[in-house]
Amino acid sequence: MMFCPKCGSILMPNQGKLTCPRCNYKTTEKQDTVMREKIESQKAVDIIEKEIETLPLTDAECSKCGHKKAYFWEVQTRAADEPATKFFKCQKCKHIWRDYS
Protein backbone atom coordinates (compact mmCIF):
# COMPACT_ATOMS: atom_id res chain seq x y z
CA MET A 1 0.00 0.00 0.00
CA MET A 2 1.43 3.36 -1.00
CA PHE A 3 0.42 6.82 0.10
CA CYS A 4 0.34 10.09 -1.80
CA PRO A 5 3.37 12.28 -0.96
CA LYS A 6 1.25 15.45 -1.41
CA CYS A 7 -1.92 14.78 0.59
CA GLY A 8 -1.37 11.43 2.33
CA SER A 9 -4.28 9.54 0.72
CA ILE A 10 -3.97 5.92 -0.37
CA LEU A 11 -2.81 5.61 -3.99
CA MET A 12 -5.21 3.52 -6.10
CA PRO A 13 -4.21 1.53 -9.22
CA ASN A 14 -5.59 3.07 -12.43
CA GLN A 15 -4.49 1.94 -15.94
CA GLY A 16 -1.10 0.67 -14.78
CA LYS A 17 -0.36 3.78 -12.71
CA LEU A 18 -0.95 4.63 -9.10
CA THR A 19 -3.29 7.63 -8.79
CA CYS A 20 -4.39 9.70 -5.82
CA PRO A 21 -8.20 10.06 -5.74
CA ARG A 22 -7.97 13.44 -3.94
CA CYS A 23 -5.28 15.45 -5.69
CA ASN A 24 -4.79 13.38 -8.90
CA TYR A 25 -1.09 12.75 -8.19
CA LYS A 26 0.19 10.01 -10.52
CA THR A 27 3.22 7.77 -10.36
CA THR A 28 4.49 4.68 -12.15
CA GLU A 29 6.91 3.71 -9.39
CA LYS A 30 6.41 0.36 -7.79
CA GLN A 31 7.64 -0.27 -4.32
CA ASP A 32 7.85 -3.59 -2.59
CA THR A 33 5.79 -3.49 0.53
CA VAL A 34 6.75 -5.65 3.48
CA MET A 35 4.18 -6.13 6.21
CA ARG A 36 5.44 -7.04 9.66
CA GLU A 37 3.57 -7.69 12.83
CA LYS A 38 5.17 -7.63 16.23
CA ILE A 39 3.47 -9.85 18.76
CA GLU A 40 4.39 -9.26 22.35
CA SER A 41 4.26 -12.22 24.66
CA GLN A 42 1.42 -12.05 27.12
CA LYS A 43 1.80 -12.71 30.79
CA ALA A 44 0.55 -16.07 31.97
CA VAL A 45 -2.76 -16.10 33.81
CA ASP A 46 -2.68 -17.79 37.19
CA ILE A 47 -5.49 -20.29 37.73
CA ILE A 48 -6.60 -20.61 41.32
CA GLU A 49 -8.14 -23.95 42.22
CA LYS A 50 -9.94 -22.53 45.25
CA GLU A 51 -13.71 -22.43 45.64
CA ILE A 52 -14.91 -18.97 46.58
CA GLU A 53 -18.34 -18.76 48.17
CA THR A 54 -20.35 -15.72 47.14
CA LEU A 55 -23.55 -16.79 48.89
CA PRO A 56 -24.77 -15.06 52.08
CA LEU A 57 -23.98 -16.73 55.41
CA THR A 58 -26.63 -17.35 58.10
CA ASP A 59 -27.14 -19.16 61.39
CA ALA A 60 -28.37 -22.69 60.65
CA GLU A 61 -27.34 -25.99 62.22
CA CYS A 62 -26.05 -28.72 59.91
CA SER A 63 -27.74 -32.07 60.55
CA LYS A 64 -24.63 -33.94 59.40
CA CYS A 65 -21.77 -32.30 61.36
CA GLY A 66 -23.56 -29.93 63.78
CA HIS A 67 -21.80 -26.78 62.53
CA LYS A 68 -23.83 -23.63 63.27
CA LYS A 69 -23.16 -21.58 60.08
CA ALA A 70 -24.45 -22.23 56.55
CA TYR A 71 -24.70 -20.47 53.20
CA PHE A 72 -28.21 -20.08 51.81
CA TRP A 73 -30.13 -19.33 48.60
CA GLU A 74 -33.74 -19.52 47.45
CA VAL A 75 -35.22 -21.19 44.36
CA GLN A 76 -38.82 -21.12 43.14
CA THR A 77 -39.29 -24.91 42.79
CA ARG A 78 -43.09 -24.97 43.00
CA ALA A 79 -45.92 -22.87 41.58
CA ALA A 80 -45.52 -19.09 41.63
CA ASP A 81 -48.25 -18.66 44.25
CA GLU A 82 -46.35 -20.89 46.74
CA PRO A 83 -43.28 -19.85 48.74
CA ALA A 84 -39.76 -20.46 47.42
CA THR A 85 -37.62 -23.34 48.67
CA LYS A 86 -34.66 -22.25 50.78
CA PHE A 87 -31.45 -24.25 50.35
CA PHE A 88 -28.61 -24.36 52.88
CA LYS A 89 -24.97 -25.44 52.44
CA CYS A 90 -22.88 -26.13 55.52
CA GLN A 91 -19.84 -23.86 55.76
CA LYS A 92 -17.70 -26.67 57.22
CA CYS A 93 -18.66 -30.00 55.54
CA LYS A 94 -20.48 -28.61 52.42
CA HIS A 95 -23.62 -30.72 53.15
CA ILE A 96 -26.70 -29.31 51.33
CA TRP A 97 -30.25 -29.47 52.68
CA ARG A 98 -33.62 -27.76 52.06
CA ASP A 99 -36.12 -25.83 54.14
CA TYR A 100 -39.67 -25.84 52.78
CA SER A 101 -41.16 -23.28 55.18
**38: CB partners within 8 A, 6+ apart:** none
- Tell me the pTM: 0.50
| Containing structural domain, residue 4 | 1-35
| Average pLDDT, consecutive stretches of 10 residues, N- to C-terminus, the chain (101 residues) | 84 83 81 74 84 88 94 90 92 91 68
Residue 45 lies in a domain: no
Looking at the structure, tell me whether residues 63 and 95 fall in a common domain. Answer: yes
User: Which pLDDT score, from 0 to 100, does residue 30 have?
Assistant: 65
Which residue in the list 29, 40, 46, 81 is annotated as catalytic?
81
Residue 28 lies in a domain: yes
CATH number, residue 87 = 2.20.25.10
Looking at the structure, tell me whether residues 31 and 62 fall in a common domain. Answer: no
User: Which pLDDT score, from 0 to 100, does residue 32 have?
Assistant: 60
Task: Please choose, from the candidates 48, 61, 46, 47, the residue with its C-alpha nearest in 3D space to the C-alpha of residue 91.
Answer: 61
Which residue in the list 61, 74, 82, 99 is annotated as catalytic?
82
Q: Based on the structure, what is the number of domains in the chain?
A: 2
User: Which pLDDT score, from 0 to 100, does residue 99 have?
Assistant: 87
Q: Which residues of 66-87 are buried (b: 16+ CB within 10 A; e: fewer)?
A: eeeebbeeeeeeeeeeeeeebb
> Would you call 49 a catalytic residue per the annotation?
no
User: Which pLDDT score, from 0 to 100, does residue 77 have?
Assistant: 85
Looking at the structure, tell me whether residues 61 and 28 fall in a common domain. Answer: no
Looking at the structure, tell me whether residues 94 and 63 fall in a common domain. Answer: yes
Residue 42 lies in a domain: no
